Amino acid sequence: MLQSKLFTKTLREAPKDEESVNAKLLTRGGYIYKNSAGVYSFLPLGWRVIKKIADIIREEMNAVGGEEIFMPALVEKKYWDATNRWNVPVGYEVFGKNEDETSFILGWSHEDLLTAMVTKFINSYKDLPFSAYQIQTKFRNEPRAKSGLLRGKEFMMKDLYSFHTDEADLNKYYERVAKAYHKIFKRCGLKSIYTLAAGGDFTTGNTHEFQVLSDVGEDTIYVCEKCGYAENNEISKLKDEGPCSRCRGKINAHKAIEVGNIFPLGTKYSKAVNLKFKDKNGEEKLVVMGSYGIGLGRVMGTIVEVYNDERGLIWPEQVAPFKVHLIELAGSSAKKIYEKLRKLGIEVLYDERDISAGAKFSDADLIGLPYRVVVSPKTGKKFELKKRSSKAIKLVSEAELIKLLKS
């Protein structure tokens, strides 16, 4: 894409009303725009990142047999009443103009609605197991909306729900999804720690979180140095530097960011809506369920918290809005190599603007694409190649450049 066509502009200064590194850098880079506290727009560069994260999630959810669906945000009172969640404080109520009573709460999770729907489709054990997921916008009345994309009033979430004949089948699938989650985060450049946690408004039993180590996280987790076992602070009986209850290894406390969570729901929701199936003997039994969430904006915000320096963003390649920032300096043209790279399917942001070299370089550092390629009168027929994550600058031929960028 031609950078002159991008309708956003980078900002020199961070917005004064943002505290978090992710919101400051993403706003300065023209990735996001804060419309209200906890409410953001994704601008062209930011939306490209979200779509890449969504594609990675979709691939891994399809690989575990998830069927993609799309549920509404307007969830009627009857669904919340059935599961006794109408009064959960995070719910936003919706009123039509001139209406005295609400009949909807904006979906902050979709166990209630989906469980009611699948009662129409499940009769026999032959209809199980299955799983369905969506990538859809959730709404939560969130007073602590100061962490940029890490905690919003409105945010895009992938929520997967699974349905089983028994606990054993759920547990098998739960492990499979846990592996898929680690894979998703790894592909996004994040190392996730599988952490035992409480159930919140979802279930009474224990659940699991996927935590990424970072100084800015809202959570404290206790992780064993030796076996990797981890618990979050809400439930942990482990102590900092104390011995691990499993292997007697040393426990370390860390502030961390939760990027995903998975819940073995058991029969909590199936009981509420009478979601039953007939087993092989014709006996009626309650369906056993799990649910599995990932916040897409939260993943994006976490990547920024982990990958940045004083000059700006440093995107991992798989989620970068473009792979290459192609910079043309005065007295040269990068048009030919731009067209060549594009034809090879390499995503290039081509800075052909009539501004100073310094301004182009600082924009490239701020925007943070993985590779910077400079074409200038000084480089002649060669290209100056620099990774955003390193300081080394190489002078390469066109053939070398193409070989490197194609790999």
Residues of this chain that interact with a second copy (CB under 8 A) are 5-9, 33, 35-36, 39-44, 47, 50, 65, 67-76, 79, 87, 89-99, 102-104, 106, 113, 117-118, 120-121, 127, 130, 132, 137, 139, 141, 153-154, 156, 163
Residue length of the chain: 407
Q: Which residue number, 65 or 380, has a Cβ lying nearer to a second copy?
A: 65
Beta bridge partners of 138: 155
Find, among 261, 248, 250, the residue nearest to 225 by Cα: 250
Nearest distance in Å: CB 393, a second copy: 31
Task: Using the minimum distance from each CB to a second copy, give the nearer residue, 169 or 219.
Answer: 169
Least distance in angstroms from the C-beta of 104 to a second copy: 8
Q: Judged by CB, which is closer to a second copy: 124, or 274? A: 124
Tell me phi and psi for residue 10, to 5 degrees: -80, 155
Rounded Cα gap, residues 406 and 340, in angstroms: 12
β-bridge partners, 139: 154
Task: Decide whether 6 or 235 has the Cβ nearer to a second copy.
Answer: 6
Closer by beta carbon to a second copy, 107 or else 293: 107
Residue number with CB closer to a second copy (86 or 235): 86
Q: Which is nearer to a second copy, 217 or 321 (CB)?
A: 321
Q: Please say whether the beta carbons of 254 and 213 come within 8 A.
A: yes
Q: Is 164 helix (H, G, I), strand (E, B) or coil?
A: strand
Closest to a second copy by CB, 70 or 390: 70
**Nearest-approach distance from CB 250 to a second copy, in angstroms:** 43
Q: Which is nearer to a second copy, 152 or 217 (CB)?
A: 152
Q: CB-based contacts of 280: which residues, under 8 Å, 6+ apart?
A: 125
d(CA 269, CA 74): 19
Q: How far is the CB of 156 from a second copy (least distance, A)?
A: 8
Amino acid letter for position 124: S
Amino acid, res. 22: N
Least separation, in Å, of the C-beta of 82 and a second copy? 13
User: Tokens representing 290?
Assistant: 């799990």
Reported as half-sphere exposure (CB side, CA atoms, 13 A), residue 282 has a value of 0
Closest distance between a second copy and the C-beta of residue 141, in Å?
4
State the minimum distance, in angstroms, from the CB of residue 265 to a second copy: 17
Cα distance between residue 107 and residue 90, in whole Å = 10
Residue 91, SS3 per DSSP: coil
- Smallest distance, a second copy to C-beta of residue 285, A: 18
Burial class (CB in 10 A: 0-12, 13-18, 19+), 97: exposed
Report, in Å, the least distance between residue 182 CB and a second copy.
25
Q: Based on CB atoms, which residue is closest to a second copy, 118 or 369?
A: 118
**Minimal distance, residue 206 CB to a second copy, in Å:** 27
367, β-bridge pairs = none
Whole-number Å distance between alpha carbons of 212 and 233? 15
Cα 272 to chain centroid distance, Å, stands at 30
**324-to-51, 189, 292, 370, 404 alpha-carbon distances in Å:** 18, 18, 34, 6, 11
**Strands 251-266 vs 288-295: parallel, antiparallel or unpaired:** antiparallel
- Cα distance between residue 132 and residue 40, in whole Å: 27
Distance between CA atoms of 179 and 306, rounded to whole angstroms? 22
